Every structure is written in C-alpha cells, then in structure tokens.
A and B are shown apart, each in its own frame.
Chain A
C-alpha cells in the first residue's frame, strides 16, 4: 500500500511539473490583484499597514478558488479515478492524497510570495511571521474545501460559479480567525488553536464528503 501511495504522489508531482505554468499564472493573478487593490485605495502607508493582512488573506482565498475546478476533473474524465479504485485504493484515501498533494504543490508555493507582498504593505517582521504561520494552517483548510466543492461539481455542466461560492461560504470562519490572530496581539495563541481546530474538523469531514460525491458522480456519469 505504501508503494501505491508513493507512486500516486510521484504521478501527481509529474503532472504538476507538466502543468507548472498554471501555478505561475495563479501567483501572477495574486500579485496583480494586490496591485489593483493598492491602486484602488491609494498609496497611504498608514491605511495600507492597517488593512494589509486582511487584503492579503482575502486575495489568497480568491486566487486559490481559481484552480479548484482542476482538482478532480481531469482524473474523472480520463477514468483514472475508477482505475485507482479498482487497484485497491478507497476513494477516501484518494481524496486524502489529493488534498495532501494540492496542499504541497499548489498552496505551499504561495508561501514564497507572502514575504514579497508584505514588503508592499510595509508589514513588520513579526506580523509577516504570524501571517506565514497562519497561512500554513489555513491553506490546508482551503485545500479541503476545494476538494469538497470540486467533487460536488463534477457533473455540473451549467452553473460554474457555485463551486467558488461554496468555497467562499465555508472559508468565512478561516478568514475571521486568521485575520483576528494577526490583528489582536495577545490573542494569537488561542486564535491559532481555534484555527487548528477548524482544520481538524474539515480534515475529518472532507474525505467522507468528497468520496460520497465522487461515488455519486461515477455511478451517474
């Protein structure tokens, strides 16, 4: 089983390298939207410093919703999901591995961009450190939500924006606690603990829910 998991991750890595320009476009989208935000509110340093963390978080969320349609769609259309399942992997395991590889290959590269972006907002060093720490926890939740909404919309051929709406809807607590952890200094530890708690809830829910959606889609396609 370990060998199968290893091969699966290796295949994900190869797919990711063949498609790396997609990730670069996502990061470029993130940078451009930050620029547009700064142009829209003017370059007053005081204002930028106070609202910086909130803007970075919401734009990270928006740019992570760009790539969620790719989560299962290719594997589903190729029939690779069925083949993996026939090879002895349960759908839950496939979902967990997919979430893990999405977290490592798509969300972690965004970490590189955070120090650069925090220069634009003149964020102090410790706030940047907090931002990176909360992003590592929060982006895993984004991956779980992306898995849920992508598997929900496998057979959806008409209404594409509902997938992004579902991710945005369930990420409201993530945004509240992670931005709160950065703005209120003495509450940092408790809010990060709450964030880890939400993370564990979604890690528990998402394999079950996504596997149910995938089964439903495969049975009816």
Chain B
C-alpha cells in the first residue's frame, strides 16, 4: 500500500490521482485557518503580535520534520539501496531551508517588540541558525560532485552526521536557560496553550504542511522527469 513512498512510477500514478483534490483541500484549509487566526483572541500581554505564532510555530515544526524525513530517507537509501530516496533528499532540501528561514525571520520579527531585540545568542536560536546552514550546505553539495552516485551518497552520509543537531534543537530550551520559551503546546505540561489558540495553530500547521507537500510533489515529479531524460 505504501509502495508509492519508495517507487517512482507508483509515486507518479498515486500523485496524479490525488493532486487536484489535494490543492482544493489545501486552499480550503488555508482559508479556514486564516479565518480562525483573524478571529482568535489577543494575548493580554503581547496584544496583536501573538498572531506571529501562527506562522512561526508551524514553520519551525516543518523545518525539523523535513530534516527528520531526509534523515529517514538517507538511512533507507543507504541501507536498502533505494535510489528514489535520494531523489526525495534532493527535492525537499530547499523546502526545509525555506521553512527554516521563515521561522528565523518571523521569530526575529516577533522578538523585536517582545524581547526588545531582533536576535539573541541563546541556544534555541543558534541551533536553528545552524540547521539553516546545514540545509544550505546540502543544497551546495547538490551542485558539487560530477558523479551522481558519489553526490547522492555523500549527501546522505552528511545528512546523517548533521542529524545530531535535531535533538539539540528540540531539547535546547530544557537543557539551558534560554530567553526562548519552552514548548507549551502539549496539554500535559503545566503552562500550556489555551484551546482557542490551539485550534487555529493546528489548522495552520495542517495548511503549511499541505503546502509543503504540494511543492515537494512538484519538485519530485520534475526530478524524476530529469533523471528519465538523462538515463
């Protein structure tokens, strides 16, 4: 059933079926999400700037998720010798870079009115900036080597080494005293988000990930076409 995740022709067939409904669902989710965000309550301290959260948090999650997907596909590609995983690695690296940049920019725009500064050198911000640099190095490595096998496997091993950064980003707010607040989305932790803000946040996360999936599908299809042409 999940063969389309590792097989290019199955992927193409599957994507041709779901692409149009996916676009419609994405547009609907985005409109509903923006509607919810517009009518979401203001924070009693932060005022209207709390609405930056509905862009900042989804893009941060998706930046981490994209890297995690790349890590899983690198393991799969190296261990089981599946070339499709390298296509995915190449296709979704720029998407992750864009989400990381979006997270950094929206975060500093949120930080200026709330913390009084665009940028502080605390652990969370620094580790996300390093994640952005790792994404850039992956994109540059994609243009570097002449031999395709060398290029793909080099990038896969580099992604595996760079995945040390993921737990550091996740736990940086717990390990060190940072200006950035710890995660408060989970209902189990003691200071947690109110349900009226959680609903638009989750809908916006869904919309962002659907947008990411659409761009990823387009890029993967292009990459498959390019490889078919050069074979």
Contacts and interface: CB of A to CB of B under 8 A. Distances in A.
A209 B147 CA distance: 19
B11 interface: no
Interface in A93-139: none
Contacts of A169: 130, 133-134, 137
Given A152-B158, A169-B134, A212-B157, A162 B150 contact: no
Given A162-B137, A166-B137, A169-B133, A157 B146 contact: yes
Nearest to B140: A162
A35 interface: no
Chain A interface residue bracket vs B: 20 to 34
B144 A213 contact: no
B164 to A, nearest CB: 7
Contacts of B134: 169
Interface residues of B, number: 20
A169 B134 CA distance: 8
B209 interface: no
Contacts of A196: none
Contacts of B137: 162, 165-166, 169
Interface of A: 148, 152, 155-159, 162, 165-166, 169-170, 172, 201, 205, 209, 212-213, 216-217, 220
8 contacts: A156-B145, A158-B144, A162-B137, A166-B137, A169-B133, A169-B137, A209-B160, A213-B154
Given A158-B144, A166-B158, A209-B161, 15 more contacts: A155-B150, A157-B146, A159-B140, A159-B143, A159-B144, A162-B140, A162-B141, A166-B137, A169-B130, A172-B130, A209-B157, A213-B157, A216-B149, A216-B150, A220-B149
